[in-house]
Amino acid sequence: MNRPAILNTTRMVCGLLLLATLPATSQAQPLDDVTLEYQTDGIVATIRTTSPVRYLRHSPVSSGKTLEIFFERAPGVASDEKWVENETRNSPSSALIPSFSVTARDVSTHPRLLVEFSRDADFSVAPGKDQRSFLITIRPDRSVAAVALPALPTVQALRATIGDTNLAENNKLGFELMTQTRAALAKKDNEAAVSSLNKLLSLPPNDYTEDAQEWVGVARERAGQFDKAKTEYDLYLNLYPKGEGVPRVMQRLAGLSGTASGPGIVEAKEQKREARWSTFGSISGRYYFGTSKIDSTTTFNAAPETQSVAMTDQSMLITTEDVSARYMSDELDGRLVFRGNNTMNFLSNKPSQNRISSLYGEVKGRQQDYQLRVGRQSSTGAGVLGRFDGVYGSYGDAADMRFNGVFGKLADYSDSASPTFYGVSVDSGAYTIYGINQTLDGVLDRRAIGGEWRYFEDQNSVFATVDYDINFKALNAAQVMGSVNAFDATLNFMLDHRKAPSLSIRNALYGATTSSITDLQQYMTTNSLSLHDLALARTATTNTAQVGITKPLSQKWQAGGSVSLSNTTATLASGHTLDPVTNLLVTTCDKTQTLEGCLAANPSRGTEVNVTGQMIGTGLYKQGDIWSFVVNVNTSSNVRGNTFFVTNHMDLPQGWGLDSSVQLYKQTDQYNAVTTRFSPTVRGSYRLREQLTFDADLGLESTKNEGANVTTKTLRFFGSAGLRWDF
């Protein structure tokens, strides 16, 4: 290699190393939603993610003010988007449990969810039933778990209302109806009590509305209308999550668990109640900066020469909005959701952008089993390849039979046109079957059938799925994964077989010189070539097997580890070019490319082995701190790498928090080039009055790449600071 070529190679290596340290411009939000459900053994918080995940372990085991859930992103039918770091969601309000926030941390290295409660909580953690969620069962505070249940309501005295004649009149009517209710309940005339309470609840909100919502559930329960009593209690908990009656309502709900519906009574004609709106969410702004210094030493004829480059590689402000409005009535539970972010780049060579990850309206029936969601939303499975703009609807009870339909257009931020699709699925107990059809510019892109099976009991779960593409007549994906408790330990496993990327006519565009599937199809047809075969030639197959274990060692320590084997098949060279002499199509690629383009053969890396060990300690330095020590070894035919990763989270007095991490990495490739990386970071946060949170982080990354002729050293300083307002 001559000297200019070496220098050009050096510059190229420098650029690639620098680009590898920066976050991708197209990133997705990892967290979809956080919801609460009231059950007999506690309040179940469901944390939903935007793509499949696999639960590994959590710490501490059962109680604390801070909880960390460690997980891996599971292979899905769709191509995985890169996730943005440090995204936060807040829990809905509840008087029975402490409020909490959920933050996604280290999503590109060792993913974990940091759950921070406002006070100590007792909990248990399990994977969700849909491969896209985690379940945290939070036990109600002991101080409010058992309360005295009054036999009759206390009718508060009618208060004077000055300046609002409508409220005064409604309060007067509410007082009269609540007095009638008390008298009816004293006589055990539940029918009359329900009638009076429904009249009261049909009035505009007044001083007696909250009590009436609690006692209409009591009246129905005493009348033997257990299912309707549960509905009324659930409505109370959603409308008044911090109400005085929450402990009583929770206790009554616990008593109703498993009770079949009684014969009921002949009801008075109910009047429709006034609907209620609530709004919540967060708005945050965060500034990111980074500077790098790159020293490249080239050895030529035993004479080293060093070149240095210093630059500002990152300067941008990201504003994130997460706003939800909820509508509650007797018949409907509705939501309006908007989640998006704006990236303002201050570097001239990097564009600014706006991204909307969610923008939808949703309606669920409270008395009938139906759901309708319209707008931009994340996939819930059933063969849908990812985020889309469209409509999803369902009708029926999943425990018996539920029918689902979906149609829309993918919104995956790709450069090519987005495919449109429609699909149907049926849920029956633990089983789901589906069919989906997807087209792109009139060309059949994907046509698949598939099924899912779920097993979920206590802390044990198994999820299996299969996806078969009828168009390609090939198995697109098959997977089984689960978590089982045995021998005082938690075992997790996964077997996965899939096409990479997922089977699609769009795969033919990889390497093509056009982003239009229509133009490519016309060219292929003209030259008697198969678009179908080209897409298959540019699709590999990946097989993965993994098994892991987590075992508590003491009150402060638990150990975990996993072993995974994976193999991705080779792909042959694909594409044709026109021979400049004969003007005939040939399979040898040269600079004269056509629309089909040319892709060189991509050899298999053989069987890749990844071994991970993890030690998690809690309360080692002070109560509530969490330490994680991870060692990872991976080998393949091309690369051998070792990683040591340490993280720590610590709660400090008066709303302060501290996170720190250190990563050590070493890699040797097939050419014996050695790359080492050392990266420490520190992050501080301060929370003010449960609404404002300020945090900042600072870190450095020192990377050294030693090749046969070129040694490159990169020193990068980076940091960020942000403010989040929760409302």
Distance between CA atoms of 547 and 565, rounded to whole angstroms? 9
User: Quick check: 49 and 30 in contact, CB under 8 A?
Assistant: yes
What the block records as the tokens of 571 is 């792909």
Distance between CA atoms of 351 and 344, rounded to whole angstroms? 8
In angstroms and rounded to an integer, the radius of gyration of the C-alpha atoms of the chain is 30
Q: How far from 203 is each of 11, 208, 629, CA to CA, in Å?
A: 74, 10, 59
Q: How far from 169 is each of 164, 172, 177, 199, CA to CA, in Å?
A: 9, 5, 12, 14
Distance between CA atoms of 135 and 125, rounded to whole angstroms? 6
- pLDDT tens for each residue of 59-104: 888 888 889 999 988 877 665 667 878 888 888 877 678 888 899 8
The 3-state DSSP class for residue 175 equals helix
User: Quick check: 574 and 521 in contact, CB under 8 A?
Assistant: no
Give me the helices (H) in 80-150, please: 142-145
pLDDT (mean) for 591-602: 70
| Higher-confidence position of 689 and 517 | 517
Instruction: Give, for 219, the enclosing helix (H) or strand (E).
Output: helix 209-222
pLDDT (mean) for 409-426: 84
Q: Which amino acid is at 303?
A: A
Average pLDDT of the chain? 83
Biggest CA–CA distance in the chain, Å, is 105
Instruction: Give, for 397, the enclosing helix (H) or strand (E).
Output: strand 388-397
Cα 443-496-422 angle, rounded to 5 deg: 30
Q: Which residues, listed in sequence order, are joined to residue 456 by a DSSP beta bridge?
A: 461
pLDDT (mean) for 133-151: 73
The 3-state DSSP class for residue 65 equals strand
**Which range scores top for mean pLDDT: 20-24, 220-224, 373-377, 576-580?**
373-377
Q: How confident is the model at residue 107 (pLDDT cuts 50, 70, 90)?
A: confident
- pLDDT tens for each residue of 149-183: 888 888 888 777 776 778 888 888 889 899 999 99
pLDDT value for 630: 94
pLDDT (mean) for 218-244: 84
* Of 187, 245, 243, 180, nearest in space to 217 by CA: 245
Task: Tell whether the model's pLDDT for residue 421 goes beyond 80.
Answer: yes
Task: Tell whether the model's pLDDT for residue 266 goes beyond 60.
Answer: no
Task: Tell whether the model's pLDDT for residue 628 goes beyond 90.
Answer: yes
Distance of CA 460 to the CA centre of its chain: 21
Distance between CA atoms of 268 and 196, rounded to whole angstroms? 9
Distance of CA 387 to the CA centre of its chain: 12
Pairing of strands 692-706, 577-578: unpaired
pLDDT value for 533: 85
Q: How confident is the model at residue 7 (pLDDT cuts 50, 70, 90)?
A: very low
pLDDT (mean) for 231-260: 76
Q: How confident is the model at residue 227 (pLDDT cuts 50, 70, 90)?
A: confident
| Higher-confidence position of 33 and 584 | 33
pLDDT value for 562: 94
Least confident segment among 8-22, 52-66, 120-134, 565-579: 8-22
pLDDT value for 593: 56
Distance of CA 38 to the CA centre of its chain: 22
Distance between CA atoms of 453 and 401, rounded to whole angstroms? 14
pLDDT value for 5: 37
pLDDT value for 272: 52
pLDDT value for 526: 66
pLDDT value for 273: 55
pLDDT value for 157: 81
pTM for the structure as a whole: 0.72
Q: How confident is the model at residue 388 (pLDDT cuts 50, 70, 90)?
A: very high
- pLDDT tens for each residue of 466-484: 999 999 999 999 999 998 8
Q: How far from 330 is each of 254, 271, 283, 333, CA to CA, in Å?
A: 22, 10, 31, 8
Tell me how far apart the terminal alpha carbons of the chain are, to the nearest angstrom.
62
What the block records as the tokens of 138 is 């939070």
Angle between helices 209-222 and 246-256 (to 10 degrees): 20
pLDDT value for 665: 94
- Structural domains in the chain, sorted by start: 165-270 (1.25.40.10)
> What are the DSSP calls for 446-491, one per residue?
EEEEEEEEEEEETTEEEEEEEEEETTTTEEEEEEEEEEEEETTEEE
| Higher-confidence position of 254 and 260 | 254
Task: Tell whether the model's pLDDT for residue 2 goes beyond 70.
Answer: no
Task: Tell whether the model's pLDDT for residue 576 goes beyond 70.
Answer: no
% residues pLDDT > 70 (the chain): 87
What single-letter DSSP state applies at residue 429? T
| Higher-confidence position of 398 and 192 | 192
% residues pLDDT > 90 (the chain): 33
